Amino acid sequence: MHFSFVVSGGLGYHIPNLFENESSFTEFENVLKLLRKHGYIGVELNLSLHNPQVLSRIAAAIRGEGLRLAAVGTGLIYRERGLSFTNPDSKNRQEAVDIVKELIRFAAGERAIVIIGMVRGTSSEEVAVDLLRQSLAECDKVASECKVSLALEAINRYETPLLNTAADVAEVIQDERLTATGILLDSFHMNIEEQSLEETIRKYHKMITHYHIADSDRWPPGHGHLKVENQLTLLGELGYGGWISAETLPKPDNEEALIQTARFLKRHNFLRGS
Ligand SMILES: [Mn+2]
């Protein structure tokens, strides 16, 4: 297992208007140094842009710090730009799919995962399920050609009515015969939706392509009432060799969230160092 931390304009280490101005780039480079200092080997980003110059600058900054790009989240495509896989307006939907395809091509060069989370949107209309499946199939095809793994996230009911549980996600993957897509399990969402976190991990472990950790209150692990260490031990026992990304709220603040998560991982011997 490899450990990374989310840096974004939303969850994780929060940098407002990330990659939209020079000062946010400078702050990003400083966060990369901080990640390295505390033992992380990767960073997870949330992107809605697909400007090749900006993307290569981001990749160069990560490599320059000796880190890896673990994963690219795509939720901002919906949250900031209002584009989604289930928008009944076909132009809107196609634009969302096209940006994700561009990000898949970018991720291929960095050997990173691409996350399909909130880009699905929040539509509860009947047609949404078909549109979602169609969009996923399109992205899976490109991911397969590019040898990129997609991670389709089970997201709790308060954020979207679409694909709330690991079983929901597994069903779509199997029905649509998606070959490049696996499941993203997130301890925060699972705590709301699953009967048992450990049983869910056990049942679906062969399909897991990415894993998010946060405590029950989405603070760093160790703050709430989840036993995140037990989930990680189990994943290790089951042979999971992918990324574990901390996707916490920036609480108590940006830097402390990153440091406290690293301390938790070291206390339980998942990360080296003191
Ligand atoms: Mn997540």
Beta-bridge partner residues of 182: 151
Report the separation in Å between the CA atom of 53 and the middle of ligand 1, taken as the mean of its atom positions. Answer: 27
pLDDT band for position 272 (cuts 50, 70, 90)? confident
Per-residue confidence (pLDDT) for residue 105, from 0 to 100: 97
The average pLDDT across 116-120 equals 98
Query: Sorting pLDDT into bands at 50, 70 and 90, what band is 190?
Result: very high
Determine contact, residues 173/184, Cβ cutoff 8 Å.
Answer: no
Domain extent listing, the chain = 2-267
243 alpha carbon – ligand 1 mean position (Å): 13
Please tell me the distance between residue 211's alpha carbon and the centre of ligand 1 in angstroms: 8
Q: So what's the pLDDT on residue 184?
A: 98
How does pLDDT run across 219-253, given as a tens digit for each residue?
999 999 999 999 999 999 999 999 999 999 999 99
Q: How many A from CA of 51 to the centre of ligand 1? A: 24
Band of the pLDDT at 99, cuts 50, 70, 90?
very high
Q: Describe the crossing of helices 52-64 and 90-110 by its angle, rounded to 10 degrees.
A: 30
273 pLDDT exceeds 80?
Answer: no
Digit-coded pLDDT (tens) for 14-25? 999 999 999 999
CATH topology of domain 2-267: TIM Barrel (3.20.20)
For ligand 1, the distance from its centroid to the CA atom of residue 210, given in whole angstroms, is: 9
Rounded distance from Cα 212 to ligand 1 centre (Å): 5
pTM of the predicted protein model: 0.97
Q: Measure 19 CA to ligand 1 centroid, in angstroms.
A: 21
Phi and psi at residue 77, to the nearest 5°: -60, -35
Q: What is the pLDDT of residues 33-55, one digit of tens each?
A: 999 999 999 999 999 987 999 99
Please give the distance, rounded to the nearest whole angstrom, from the Cα atom of residue 247 to the centre of ligand 1. 6
Separation CA 51–CA 106 (nearest Å) = 10
Spatial separation of the C-alpha atoms in residues 172 and 127, rounded to whole Å: 15
pLDDT band of 274, cuts 50, 70, 90: low
- CA of 138 relative to ligand 1 center, distance in Å: 22
Ligand 1 centroid to Cα of residue 158, in Å, is: 13
Paired strand residues for 45: 7, 72
